[in-house]
Each structure stands twice: as C-alpha cells, then as structure tokens.
Amino acid sequence: MRHYCIETYGCQMNVADSELIAGILEDDGWVRATDAHGADLIVVNTCSVRERAADRVVGYLRSLAPLRRARPGLRIVVAGCLPQHLGERLAERLPDVDLFIGPDAYRRLPELVADPSRDPHFALARDRGETYEDLSPLRADGIHAYVSIMRGCDRACTYCAVPFGRGRERSLPAEAAIRATREAVESGFVAVTLLGQAVTSYREGERDFAALLEALAGIPGLCSLRFLAPHPGDLSVRLLEVMRRHPVIARHLHLPLQAGSDRILTAMRRGYTAAEFVDLVARARRTLPEISITTDIIVGFPGESDEDYARTVEVMETVRFDSAFTFAYSPREGTHAQRFLADDVPPEVKQHRLSAVITLQERHSLERYQARIGTTQEVLVEGPARGTPDRLFGRCSDMKAAVFSPGEAEEAEEIRAGEIARVEITAASSHTLKGVRRR
C-alpha cells in the first residue's frame, strides 16, 4: 500500500483544496499515513499571501531533507499558490522537491507522481475553466464542511499575491454548488461554509451570489450556512435581505477593511472609501442587528503616513469590529505595489502600528463579546471543549466561539455535536463566550 500525507498552509481555500487532493489520491488507491514519517508521498499545500507564510513553508520543506535521505523512494510535492506564483525560482530554493503543482492541475497529480522521468516536474499550466465540479473532496470527520463555489480573483488589489497563485475568477455552476452542498449535508455535515476569494462576485448567468445563497438556505438538514470572504465592494442590499430572511445563514460578515485612509485605499485599489465602508457596516447592522463584523487590516502600506494610519484607527473606533486579523505590509513579488511603490514605512514603525491596532482590537473584541453577557444564544455544538472535557464547545449564529457547561447530567447526555444548544452567556473574554446550557 502506498501512503500519503498532506501538510496545509494558508487560507480555508487551501484547506478545501487539500480535501480535494486527498479525494483524488484515494481514488487512485493511496492511503492516508498517520504522519510524514510513514508516508511515501508528502504533499505540502502552500500559501504565498504574506512573506511569513511563504517562509514557514520553505522552512518546513527544508526540515524534510533528513526524511528524504532516510527514505529513498519518498516523493515530495509542493502544491498551491507558492509554486504557481514563483515557478522555477522556487525550485532553486528547494532542490529536494519532485513535483511543483499549481491549483489548476490537481487532476493530474496521480499521473505525475507515478512518473519519475522528469526531475523536478512542473505542472503550472493555468486552466481558466477548472472548477473541479465533478470531484468529491475527502473531508475530515466533524460537523462542518467547506464547499468551494468559485476559484481565482479578478480584483487586483495592489498588495495581493492571490491572483498570481489562483488566476482568474471562475464560478462553479449553480446546480453543481447546490449538489455539492446537498451531498455534504446528506453525509452528515450540518454546517457548510461557501468559499471563494471574493465570494460575493460569484456569478453564473443570471444567478448572483445572493440568489445562490437563497437557493442553498432551503436545503433540508442544514443548520448553519456561512460564506468567506465577501468583498465590501460588492456586498449588495439584496444579499443582506436574503440573510435576514433565512436565519440558517450565519449572522456574520468578514469584511476586510485593509485601511481607513482614502488615499491608501485608492493606492491599494480597493474600490471603496472609508465612508462607504462605514455606511455598509451601518446598513448591515440595521438589517441584521445581531450580526458580528470581523475584518482584516494591513498597516505600513507604502506611503502610509501617521495621518493615514490615524484614519485606520478612526474607522476601527467607529465600527468596533468583533475581531480582526492584523498584518504588517510585506511586498509580494510581481504585485503592483512591489513593482511600483517603495516599501518606505520603516519596520519599527510598522511594528509599532501593528501592536497598537492589536491592542485596540483586543479592547473592542472584549467589549463586543462582553455585550453578549446575559443573553441566551443558540450554539451549534462541535464537541467537547479542549482542555475542559466536562464542557462543550460550539459556535453562536454570529460565529463567536462559546464554551459552556451542559447543565444537569441527564441533559448532558442528550446534547451531541451537530445539535443546537440554548446557552445563557455568563462571562466573556475577547475570543470566547462562556455560559450554561438552559432548557
């Protein structure tokens, strides 16, 4: 028997792609190894979005060198955004790799792995039509499944490596998206997250993202329908209305702000102003008062002055996000910003701004989480809480994590992963709600 293992870096899209790769390999007779030491094939699914992510991948691959020497037949494959983005230049840094394969070429993986004639192989041809609609991902056990409904991104934000890794936008036909979601639910996954780099630009003929979401919301047995990540530039009023009509759709929007200065937003080519972003949040909260809004923020973009940075803080103060991923700008090869804009914010200034936005966000998160104390939330149970097995872990409809005690003993036996518990929130940190199950 031939054994494989997959190591995944990067975003949820990559997690979903690794499930697709696992499906392709198992259809070809491969069996999952418990870890890299027992594998005949190691697939490293990579990310190129930030320098740190790329460095970690290169570090991991270098750490495989002794394993490679110890197991002469071992094949190492680098998949995903990094080889697609950097091509043969990556091979110069990684001499031990047998195959570099881009996100449009996964169907060919078994055939390429079986062929040792070229060393290394490069399978980096782009295929604008590839959506893998007919393939079944192999998902880990649990209550939650990813369904990729589109691939690629046409937006060309000036800092962003994604279009280099993932190419042009293409949407899964709506019928295939509905079928994939139905199949996931039928095989026991009660929560589904629809994925796309800018998922709100989904389109198939007349059907836009709001229409697709509405069609999916009616699937019997589905308890929570989520999507990542919308783009503030194409989040429609209709979409908010669809969310309002269907409580099965999570009360959560991950809306990447990136920056609060209009000058920087223009230089990033984000396609909205700070005022438009703030209005959008206000409209979302008017339509769905219980919604949580999370975001991504970059500090230290080329040309970001103290004044520009102060605008980011100002928008954060106005919106008060439920949580945020915060990053210091790093130039990515080939992007407009790397080629044409000087990376002129000194590293210590970037770090200082980053620490300050992290501290500010911690304060806002704590405030937003504590505001839930005293309310009763419907929590979709995922299983025992890590570290405290007498408690359960789950997510509220707005995606906040909740840890709770299951109540009386006989009730505790009743509640299982995939079911919804009514939980009274009694305490909160900036990342987790705590509470007690109520009847």
* Three-state SS annotation for the chain: CCEEEEEECCCHHHHHHHHHHHHHHHHCCCEECCCHHHCCEEEEEECCCCHHHHHHHHHHHHHCHHHHHHCCCCEEEEEEHHHHHHCHHHHHHCCCCCEEECCCCHHHHHHHHHCCCCCCEEECCCCCCCCCCCCCCCCCCCCEEEEECEECCCCCCCCCCHHHHHCCCEECCHHHHHHHHHHHHHCCCCEEEEECCCHHHCEECCEEHHHHHHHHHCCCCCCEEEEECCCHHHCCHHHHHHHHHCCCECCEEECCCECCCHHHHHHHCCCCCHHHHHHHHHHHHHHCCCCEEEEEEEECCCCCCHHHHHHHHHHHHHHCCCEEEEEECCCCCCCHHHHHCCCCCCHHHHHHHHHHHHHHHHHHHHHHHHCCCCCEEEEEEEEEECCEEEEEEEEECCCCEEEEECCCHHHHHHCCCCCEEEEEEEEECCCEEEEEEEC
**Under rule CB under 6 A, residue 159 binds ligand 5AD:** yes
**Under rule CB under 6 A, residue 396 binds ligand 5AD:** no
Considering beta carbons, is residue 80 or 300 the nearer one to ligand SF4?
A: 80
Site string for ligand 5AD, 272-291 (x = CB under 6 A): --------------------
**Binding range to ligand SF4, per CB under 6 A, among 8-16, 33-41, 218-226, 383-391:** 8-16
Site string for ligand SF4, 47-86 (x = CB under 6 A): xxx------------------------------xx-----
**Binding range to ligand SF4, per CB under 6 A, among 64-72, 160-168, 226-234, 379-387:** 160-168
**Binding range to ligand 5AD, per CB under 6 A, among 76-84, 246-254, 329-337, 373-381:** 329-337
**Under rule CB under 6 A, residue 332 binds ligand 5AD:** yes
Considering beta carbons, is residue 109 or 396 the nearer one to ligand SF4?
A: 109
Cα 20 to chain centroid distance, Å, stands at: 16
Distance of alpha carbon 35 from alpha carbon 232, whole angstroms? 40
- Give the residue at shortest CB distance from ligand 5AD: 296
**Under rule CB under 6 A, residue 312 binds ligand 5AD:** no
Considering beta carbons, is residue 84 or 292 the nearer one to ligand SF4?
A: 84
* Among 184, 201, 116, 172, residue whose Cα is nearest residue 144: 184
- Residue 372's CB is within 10 A of a number of other CB atoms, namely 20
Tell me which of ligand 5AD, ligand SF4, none is bound by residue 47, counting a contact when its beta carbon lies within the kind-specific cut-off of 5 to 8 angstroms.
Answer: ligand SF4
Query: Could you give the C-alpha distances from 271 to 266, 319, 353, 374, in angstroms and in order?
Result: 7, 19, 24, 39
- Nearest approach, Cβ of residue 208 and ligand SF4 (Å): 22
**Under rule CB under 6 A, residue 162 binds ligand SF4:** yes
- Nearest approach, Cβ of residue 53 and ligand SF4 (Å): 6
Considering beta carbons, is residue 261 or 335 the nearer one to ligand SF4?
A: 335
**Binding range to ligand SF4, per CB under 6 A, among 31-39, 157-165, 199-207, 342-350:** 157-165
**Under rule CB under 6 A, residue 258 binds ligand 5AD:** yes
**Binding range to ligand 5AD, per CB under 6 A, among 20-28, 96-104, 324-332, 368-376:** 324-332
- Nearest approach, Cβ of residue 309 and ligand 5AD (Å): 15
Tell me which of ligand SF4, ligand 5AD, none is bound by residue 288, counting a contact when its beta carbon lies within the kind-specific cut-off of 5 to 8 angstroms.
Answer: none
**Under rule CB under 6 A, residue 10 binds ligand SF4:** yes
Interface pick for ligand 5AD out of 164, 227, 309, 327 (rule CB under 6 A): 327
Number of residues binding to ligand 5AD, judged by CB under 6 A: 12
Tell me which of ligand 5AD, ligand SF4, none is bound by residue 166, counting a contact when its beta carbon lies within the kind-specific cut-off of 5 to 8 angstroms.
Answer: ligand SF4
Distance of alpha carbon 165 from alpha carbon 53, whole angstroms? 14
**Under rule CB under 6 A, residue 255 binds ligand SF4:** no
Q: Which residues bind ligand 5AD (CB under 6 A)?
A: 49-50, 159-160, 256, 258, 296, 298, 327, 329-330, 332
Q: Which residues bind ligand SF4 (CB under 6 A)?
A: 10-11, 13-14, 47-49, 80-81, 161-162, 165-166
